[in-house]
Amino acid sequence: MINSWQELETYQPRVKRLLINSIEKQRLAHAYLFEGKKGTGKRNIGILFAKSFFCENLQHAEPCNNCRNCRRIDSGNHPDVHVVEPDGLSIKKGQIQALQEEFSKSGVESNKKLYMIVHADKMTVNAANSLLKFLEEPNANTIAILLTEQYHRMLNTILSRCQLVSFQPLLPKAIEKLLVDEGIPGHVASLVSQLTNDSEDAITIAKDDWFAQARTKVIKLYEVMVTRKGQAPIFVHTEWMMHFNEKEKQEIGLDLLLYIYKDLLSIKVGNEDQVIYHDIIQQLKQNALQMTQRSLTEKMSSILEAKNRLHANVNPQLLMEQLVLTLQEG
């Protein structure tokens, strides 16, 4: 949960600058369209914006997070902040009409009102036209925040009445920091941050016991290939295939294995700060001494080729057995 604009510098610096500038100069648009991929923080930042709009102790655009308004917005109980989400697969005209009726009343506690429409691209045509009338005649001190992952599906007439705020995919370092802030161990956070740029997915993966076990299995397979080469095919049969028992999981397993060899290459070329499996870096340093850059590049290519072959209905156990034999060469 992002509670301050300062925190946002790590995740969405351009969004931070645009919105803080509007708040500090008191030049708020009557409607914003937050667009970007899933997990880029749109809803979280919409809540932060609402707190800045209603905070009783605002300091240079930063909400205090302690006043009655901030606390009620965090808990979803502020009477003048309304969130509309799809009812089933779409947002219906009746939902927009109910919102308009609510906003025709004076503010319960002040003359300010704010509403957020989640997945605004899922409005029916009638709902969108109903909202359009609302946007064409904005009330003073009323702010609309529309959230979407697919703004190209929205009416141009609605787009033209909103200030567009684009959210960029999160960088691995930003995902890693977010996970660490959530209490995820650093060695898990660094690995998960390579798998997704969706903050919500990242948190789900990092807290999944299956993923923690997958990471352990991958490290163990690597150690077996290095120290007990003849045991690697047996390990694939007895442990790997039991855990990575579906195509999607097998892909994740190959990705996790690939990152070990990327780490070895990073160490080899002097980029230790880029190592992902930093909890086993000493072991990787020793192993890297026995390998050339060329052999590491070839091993990484073999893993990527195996990923491609997974989609060609190749027997996954046979694929893994062939792969470990290839990785043990050189």
Q: For residue 107, what pLDDT is reported?
A: 56
194-200-201-205 Cα dihedral, nearest 10 degrees: 90
42 and 132 both lie in a single domain: yes
231 and 320 both lie in a single domain: yes
Domain that includes residue 24, residue range: 8-169
Q: How confident is the model at residue 329 (pLDDT cuts 50, 70, 90)?
A: confident
157 and 213 both lie in a single domain: no
pLDDT, average across residues 302-330: 90
Which tokens belong to 238? 């007895």
Q: Counting beta carbons within 10 angstroms of the beta carbon of residue 172, is it exposed (0 to 12), middle (13 to 18) or buried (19 or more)?
A: middle
159 and 253 both lie in a single domain: no
- Is 227 a member of any domain? yes
CATH number of the domain residue 136 falls in: 3.40.50.300
CB-based contact 289:314 (threshold 8 Å): no
Rounded to two decimals, what is the model's pTM?
0.76
Q: For residue 26, what pLDDT is reported?
A: 87
126 and 241 both lie in a single domain: no
CB-based contact 220:212 (threshold 8 Å): no
In the chain, how many domains are there?
2
78 and 24 both lie in a single domain: yes
Is residue 106's pLDDT more than 90? no
36 and 162 both lie in a single domain: yes
Average pLDDT, the chain: 91
State the Cα–Cα distance between residues 236 and 217, nearest whole angstrom: 10
CATH number of the domain residue 280 falls in: 1.20.272.10
- Is 200 a member of any domain? no
247 and 153 both lie in a single domain: no
- Is 2 a member of any domain? no
Q: How confident is the model at residue 117 (pLDDT cuts 50, 70, 90)?
A: very high
Query: What element of type H or E holds 34?
Result: strand 31-35
Q: Comparing C-alpha atoms, which of 62, 44, 53 is closest to residue 1?
A: 44
165 and 212 both lie in a single domain: no
- Is 13 a member of any domain? yes
Is residue 324's pLDDT more than 90? yes
